[in-house]
């Protein structure tokens, strides 16, 4: 059997466990619409990559839509996202290997760690990434494939600070009453 033999083809399909409850993130969760949109698109692209035929993709796409509607997702919102993912267009890029930039084979990704601020929700960070790239090139450290990403952590809330103070107070109290006499 030769790998180049056209009689033999590897055929894939989406496997879904029978006991899977498909408890996707509910629409009314505190996740941002951008987060929900990103994972829905990501799942659709994964289906494009796995399904060898457009008809297989159409079937799983319909099932996925029904499951999301059952989790409270608005139909029009979903329809807009589903229309963005075209099987014939995505299939061409979904099967291409990802270019790797270093010896380990991992993409070089520079992460800017920030504390979340709601003001940044509508902020386009692309000009910032371009400026970083230009500055790095100027100092001989950059190259065209340089990638940047922002990672946001939850800001400290008053409740977090009170919990820390309460824990310290309780530890001090327990230490004082447990001290040998």
Question: What's the pLDDT tens digit per position in 46-100?
Answer: 999 999 899 999 999 999 999 999 999 999 999 999 999 999 999 888 777 655 5
Contacts 24+ apart (CB under 8 A), 9-12: 11/52, 12/50, 12/51, 12/52
Contact, 64 vs 43, CB < 8 A? yes
**What is the pLDDT confidence band of residue 102, given thresholds at 50, 70 and 90?**
low
For 26-53, what is each residue's pLDDT tens digit?
A: 999 999 999 999 999 999 999 999 998 9
> Are residue 156 and residue 104 in the same domain, yes or no?
yes
* CA 22 from centroid of its chain's CA atoms: 18
> Are residue 103 and residue 181 in the same domain, yes or no?
yes
Torsion angles phi and psi, residue 144, rounded to 5: -60, -30
> Are residue 38 and residue 65 in the same domain, yes or no?
yes
**What is the pLDDT confidence band of residue 1, given thresholds at 50, 70 and 90?**
very low
Quote the pLDDT of residue 74. 96
How far is 43 from 174, CA to CA, in rounded Å? 50
Percent of residues, the chain, with pLDDT higher than 90: 39
Examine residue 10 and state whether it is found in any structural domain, yes or no: no
Task: Tell which residue, 125, 119, 127, 122, has the closest CA to residue 151.
Answer: 125
What's the whole-number average pLDDT of the chain?
82
Domain finish residue from 48, 64, 94 = 94
> Are residue 136 and residue 176 in the same domain, yes or no?
yes
Domain that holds residue 60: 33-94
Examine residue 26 and state whether it is found in any structural domain, yes or no: no
> Are residue 139 and residue 157 in the same domain, yes or no?
yes
How far is 172 from 169, CA to CA, in rounded Å? 5
Residue whose entry in the numeric block shows the structure tokens 């590897």 = 10
Contact, 40 vs 26, CB < 8 A? no
For 114-128, what is each residue's pLDDT tens digit?
A: 888 777 777 787 887
DSSP 5-54: -TT----------TT----PPPTTSSS-HHHHHHHHHHHHHHHHHH-SSH
Domain finish residue from 77, 94, 111 = 94
Q: Which residues pair with 113 in a beta bridge?
A: 151
Quote the pLDDT of residue 105. 61
Torsion angles phi and psi, residue 46, rounded to 5: -60, -40
Quote the pLDDT of residue 2. 44
Examine residue 3 and state whether it is found in any structural domain, yes or no: no
Three-state DSSP state, 113: strand
> Are residue 40 and residue 82 in the same domain, yes or no?
yes
Dihedral angle computed from the Cα positions of residues 27, 33, 121 and 107, in that order, rounded to the nearest 10 degrees? 120
What is the pTM assigned to this prediction?
A: 0.54
């Amino acid at each position: 059997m030769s790998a180049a033999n056209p009689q033999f083809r590897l055929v894939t399909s989406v496997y879904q466990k029978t006991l899977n409850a498909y408890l996707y993130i509910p629409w009314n969760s505190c996740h941002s619409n951008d987060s929900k949109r990103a994972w829905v698109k990501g799942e659709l692209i994964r289906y494009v990559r796995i399904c060898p035929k457009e008809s297989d993709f159409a079937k799983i796409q319909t099932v996925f839509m029904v499951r999301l509607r059952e989790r409270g997702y608005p139909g029009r919102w979903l329809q807009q996202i589903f229309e963005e993912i075209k099987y014939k267009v995505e299939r061409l890029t979904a099967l291409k290997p990802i270019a790797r930039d270093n010896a380990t084979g991992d993409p070089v990704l520079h992460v800017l760690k920030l504390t979340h601020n709601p003001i940044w929700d509508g902020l386009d960070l692309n000009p910032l990434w371009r400026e970083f790239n230009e500055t790095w090139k100027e100092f001989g450290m950059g190259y065209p494939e340089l990638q940047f990403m922002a990672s946001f952590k939850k800001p400290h809330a008053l409740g977090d600070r009170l919990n820390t103070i309460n824990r310290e107070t309780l530890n001090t109290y327990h230490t004082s009453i447990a001290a040998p006499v």
